[in-house]
Amino acid sequence: MSAADEEAALLGLAPVAPDRTVAYGPHPDQLVDLYVPRAVGGAPTAPAGPRVVLLHGGFWRAAYDRRHLSPLAAALAARGLPVALAEYRRVGAGGGAPATFEDVAAGLAAAVRALPGDGAPVLAGHSAGGHLALLAAAGPGAPVSRVLAVSPVADLARAHALGLSGGAVAELLGDGTGLAERLAAADPARRPPSAVPVTILHGTDDGDVPLELSRRYAAHRPGTELHELPGVGHYAPVTPGSPSCHTLFRHLLAPRST
């Protein structure tokens, strides 16, 4: 499947309404959508796996919101996982550093309070959401059991050097004086090692976020599990029904092998 076909397959899915939405602040993007576990036939059921907090991508820009990952959230809930799909302020609508980072922390805390079940959740993120998940888990006392980052912008300095998506990193952090310092602070590949286990899934044919970024992150962070997905692009791993999305399900349902 081509990159264009992968993107069309994901973005062509109809959004799935959540069971409930909770606000964690006054801004209209400070929301968390909750999807409860459901048995065959659709009836709510007890959790059959870990709680999951899901962060969407879109290069941190307001043009992309959480709705494109709602089919994934619903598919995970159908497999017995309580899921929180978190929104956050993004570049062009009140976001950018530090507001975006603050919202991820606040949204994660709200999700932990609202999700059914026990235990620290898995923090999962796709693309720029993968960057945000890795960054949030690098902070002291992050209330997560592990991170599953899918096609993440895992090495922010390299993404900036490559000019990914027309300079999206500079848009996020604000270009000009002090950018180097802000970049270092927001780059999960250069944060002190965390006790939170990290697993990364990344397609070898990803044309939006090169696999090189995840390889560089793993090289900086011993203990990272990097699983390269042969022939897979950027969108298939978060598109329900695709083989690589089944790989994502498997990693969410099972603990890390190390």
Mean pLDDT of 53-69: 97
Q: Is the pLDDT of residue 258 over 50?
A: no
For residue 101, the 8-state DSSP code is H
- Amino acid letter for position 230: P
Express each pLDDT in 143-154 by its tens digit: 999 999 999 999
Nearest C-alpha neighbor of 40 from the set 89, 80, 2: 80
Query: 112 near 90, Cβ under 8 Å?
Result: no
Q: Is the pLDDT of residue 183 over 50?
A: yes
Mean pLDDT of 26-53: 89
Domain 3-253 has CATH 3.40.50.1820: yes
Across the chain, which distance is largest between two alpha carbons, in Å? 56
CB count in 10 Å sphere of residue 39: 12
DSSP 27-67: STT-EEEEE--B-TTS-B----S--EEEE--STTBTTS-GG
High-pLDDT (> 90) share of the chain, %: 82
Q: Is the pLDDT of residue 256 over 70?
A: no
**Helix and strand counts by DSSP (H, E) for the chain:** 9, 8
- Which range is least confidently modeled, 46-50, 119-123, 212-216? 46-50
Q: What residue segments make up the domains of the chain, in order of their start?
A: 3-253
Express each pLDDT in 81-134 by its tens digit: 999 999 999 999 999 999 999 999 999 999 999 999 989 999 999 999 999 999
pLDDT band at residue 44 using 50, 70 and 90 as cut-offs? confident
Q: Which parts of the chain are beta strand (E)?
A: 20-23, 31-35, 52-55, 83-86, 122-126, 146-150, 198-203, 225-229
Mean pLDDT of 11-20: 96
Query: 201 near 248, Cβ under 8 Å?
Result: yes
Express each pLDDT in 234-246 by its tens digit: 999 999 999 999 9
Q: Are strands 83-86 and 31-35 parallel, antiparallel or unpaired?
A: antiparallel
